[in-house]
Amino acid sequence: TSLVISQMQSRGTAGGNDEFIEIYNGTAASITFDASWTLTVRNATGGLGACVATPSVLYTGANQVIASHKHLLLTASAYSESVPGDATFGAGIPDAASLVLLHAAATVDALCFSYDATTTGTLTGCTIAYTCEGTPATNPHDNTASATSNADNSLERKPGGAGGNGTDANDNATDFSTATPADPHNLAAAAVP
């Protein structure tokens, strides 16, 4: 019924800042991504003893118009994919975190992702609860600089690609799968499906 986080890459072939976030408009009307829209991130890599209490604002909307069944692509400083971003964000995305899309300070969508039992435990067990939808998705990136972790992978909302990104069962582990290679879409890309 609104915008959703459709794809996220927390690192890529160019390292830890090779990041992007893709937002999908699955509605029948255009939506203006103005300053009432924000994306926040809350780190979950530190374990239960180091729970981060407050999320950081990654990006605030800048009046981009997302047409029906199209995407907005936000990128970080070392973004290396061939599809150009529509805007940039400054802060980084940890490899385990809660990424939240808000409209007028109300949660519209959330993507929690982890890479091992410790980071899953952080997302599900902190005394100040993380904003998540069901079970965290498994991030293919594991907070290391290895070739495997710095691969060209992302978490993409199903069905993905030409099928669009409309699956929303309110469970991140069910709604997202690993896209290899990553498949970002920007405002200029064709509408899907």
Reported pTM? 0.96
pLDDT digits (tens, 9 = 90+) for 114-159: 999 999 999 999 999 999 999 999 999 999 989 889 999 999 999 9
- Res 168: pLDDT: 95
- Give Cα separations from 108 to 2, 131, 136, 180 (angstroms): 8, 11, 17, 27
Task: Say which DSSP state 27 is in.
Answer: S
Q: Is 58 left (phi over 0), alpha (psi -120 to 50) or beta?
A: alpha
What integer is the mean pLDDT of 149-173?
95
* Confidence band for 53, pLDDT divided at 50, 70 and 90: confident
pLDDT digits (tens, 9 = 90+) for 179-190: 999 999 999 999
Task: Name the strand (E) or helix (H) holding 45.
Answer: none
Class of residue 60 by CB neighbours under 10 A (exposed 0-12, middle 13-18, buried 19+): middle
pLDDT digits (tens, 9 = 90+) for 2-49: 899 999 999 999 999 999 999 999 999 999 999 999 999 999 998 787
- Res 89: pLDDT: 96
Which of 91 and 190 is assigned the larger pLDDT? 190
**Would you say residue 90 has pLDDT above 90?**
no
* Confidence band for 50, pLDDT divided at 50, 70 and 90: confident
* Confidence band for 170, pLDDT divided at 50, 70 and 90: very high
Which of 52 and 139 is assigned the larger pLDDT? 139
- Res 167: pLDDT: 95
In DSSP terms, 31 is beta-bridged to 66
Task: Name the strand (E) or helix (H) holding 119.
Answer: helix 117-125
At 123 the three-state DSSP class reads helix
Question: Sign of torsion, CA 107 111 113 117?
Answer: positive
- Res 1: pLDDT: 58
